Structure formats: C-alpha cells, structure tokens
Chains A and B, each alone.
Chain A
Amino acid sequence: GEDVEQSLFLSVREGDSSVINCTYTDSSSTYLYWYKQEPGAGLQLLTYIFSNMDMKQDQRLTVLLNKKDKHLSLRIADTQTGDSAIYFCADKGGKALTFGSGTRLQVQP
C-alpha cells in the first residue's frame, strides 16, 4: 500500500531556515500536503502542491517536489519559536489522505 516517510525530529535556532523532508511511494498521488499540529490541537493545513508542479512558495513557506524521486520538502524561512510543532506530510492518490508519522520541529531561542 501507500507509504509516506518522514524523519522524526528537527532542531533549529530561531531565525534559521528549517527544511523538513518527506518521501512517498504512491505514483498516483495528485496532491501533496503539509499540515502543522500544535499540542492539543487539530491539523492546520499549511500548503499543498499539485503533482505536476516543482515548487510552490507561500510567504515564509517553500515547497519543493521531486516527482521522479517521490521526494517532498518544506522549507520555513526565518523560523520562529511559534513554528515549534509537529509537521505532517500527506499525499492524496486515492481515496483519502495518507500521512507520514510527523516531524517534530523544535525551535531554540
């Protein structure tokens, strides 16, 4: 079945850029997503990219997609302490979203 993989943890200093990586296996994925989850909260849709695009930029967020390698990344510029959260990569190839296990981003002041 479909699988989405992410590294578990990333620590950066405030003001630096953060890059969170994700790989997926479903060749039929049409959209790929990044969600943010803060403690005790639901999932916040940050951004998403259509599978025929290479890059999408939205303010501090840049999404890069390498469809050949099935690799997706999320770059957060000028990372702030408020960006500390768990970030989930997800793909939608078939009937529902398939999520990775999440990357915990820790931002140190």
Chain B
Amino acid sequence: KAGVTQTPRYLIKTRGQQVTLSCSPISGHRSVSWYQQTPGQGLQFLFEYFSETQRNKGNFPGRFSGRQFSNSRSEMNVSTLELGDSALYLCASAEGAEGNEQFFGPGTRLTVL
C-alpha cells in the first residue's frame, strides 16, 4: 500500500496570503489528522476528520481550517498568513474511528516571508 502523501512538499508564501495543503491518506483509512511542527512549539495538534466530519480541534485560531472529502482526502487552509505560521505541516491517517495507529506523511514545509 502506498503511504500517506502530502502536496505540495514545499511552499513559500508572503504575509497576508492564504494557502491550501492537501493530504491523501493510506487507502482504506478514514481518519485524517493534521499537526503543526515548529522548533519553538514542537508538534501541536490542529484538527482531526473522520468520514468527512471534524471530530476534534486543537487550540489554533480560526484562520486554520480544514475539510475532508468523501474519498477521505483532506485539505487544510490557512488564511491571512503570518510569519509565525512558518512550519512543517504533517498529516496522519488511521484506519478506524479510534485512530490508534496513526501513520504520518512526509509533511509540507511552509515558509511565510
């Protein structure tokens, strides 16, 4: 089976712009979670989707949003980018509702100038 794929791998944006990141989970996996990784804050949970519904959300401002499609693919969107949004954004997929085994993609490296 192919692993979790994320596109694009690298992205450079300027402050005030918006960005959309994409994640394709492992085939058959219905749960997708998003995490932000920065040197200062480490790995922080953004949100989790299961069967097109957002089940859980972390402590991020409303500028961060996401969605999941019927084929389990997920996108996350960040509007009005700030310098502090520069990070590695990681997507993880899990098979069932419990999501106990989460497999991560390679991440999208976002740089905000």
A33 to B35, CA, bound (A): 16
The interface-forming segment of A13-21, A38-46, A52-60 is A38-46
Given known contacts A42-B90, A43-B90, is B45 in contact with A95 (CB within 8 Å)?
Answer: yes
The tally of CB-CB contacts under 8 A between chains A and B is 46
The tally of residues in B whose CB lies under 8 Å from a CB in A reads 21
Complex Cα gap A5–B104 (Å): 21
Dominant SS among interface residues on chain B = strand
Residue of A nearest to B57 (CB): A95
Q: How far is the CA of A88 from the CA of B90 in the complex (A)?
A: 14
Q: Which residues of A contact B (CB under 8 A)?
A: 30-31, 35, 41-45, 48, 88, 90, 92, 95-102
A-B contact list, 12 entries, CB within 8 Å: A30-B100, A31-B100, A42-B6, A42-B107, A43-B104, A48-B100, A90-B43, A97-B43, A97-B92, A98-B45, A101-B42, A102-B42
Interface positions of B (Cβ within 8 A of A): 4, 6, 33, 35, 42-43, 45, 48, 55-56, 58, 90, 92, 100-107
